[in-house]
A = this chain, B = another copy of it.
Amino acid sequence: MASRLSAIERVSAELIATAELVVETRGEGFTDITREAARFIEQSGGRDGALFVYLRHTSASLTIQENADPDVQTDLITALRILAPEDGPWVHTTEGPDDMPAHVKGMLTGVSLHIPVRAGVLGLGTWQGLYLVEHRSRPHRREIVLQFVGSGR
C-alpha cells in the first residue's frame, strides 16, 4: 500500500475545557455549527489536541460533510428519507410519523464525534463542515456538549 506517515508532534495533555452549545433548528435539515465549534476552541485556550462533540438527543445527529455545494445536503436528507421512510413498518408511532424515522436516522449517523485541533485551529479538511442534522419535521432546541482535550496556550 502506498502510504506515508509524517513526523510526530508531542505535547502535554494538560487541559479539558467543556461548554454547552444550544442550537435552535428549523425542522428537518442541516445546521452548520463549524463556526461555533471554532469559536469554542478559540475561547477555551486550547492549542493542540482534539475537539469532542456530543449531541444529547436521539432524533437528531451530528455529521461532518461537504460544505461547498448545498445540493449535497439536499441529497443527504433524501438518502436518509429513503433509508428510513415515514411509511415503514414501525410500531412506535405515538409521537408522530416523523419520530421513528428520526430515531433510525440518528442511529445510522450518530451523536458523538471528534475533530483534531492543531495550533488552536480545527483540523477539518478543505471541504468539511460540522453539522447538526435535525431529523424531526418541526423546529427543536438541541443541546450539544463541546469538549477540548489537549495542551493549553
Contacts and interface: CB of A to CB of B under 8 A. Distances in A.
A5 B32 contact: no
A51 to B, nearest CB: 10
Contacts of A32: 1
A33 B75 CA distance: 30
A18 B8 contact: yes
B124 A50 contact: no
A100 B59 CA distance: 24
12 contacts: A1-B23, A18-B48, A18-B116, A50-B52, A54-B116, A56-B124, A72-B92, A79-B107, A112-B115, A116-B147, A125-B143, A149-B149
Given A1-B32, A52-B114, A69-B94, 9 more contacts: A7-B19, A8-B19, A11-B18, A16-B149, A18-B116, A66-B103, A69-B92, A112-B113, A149-B149
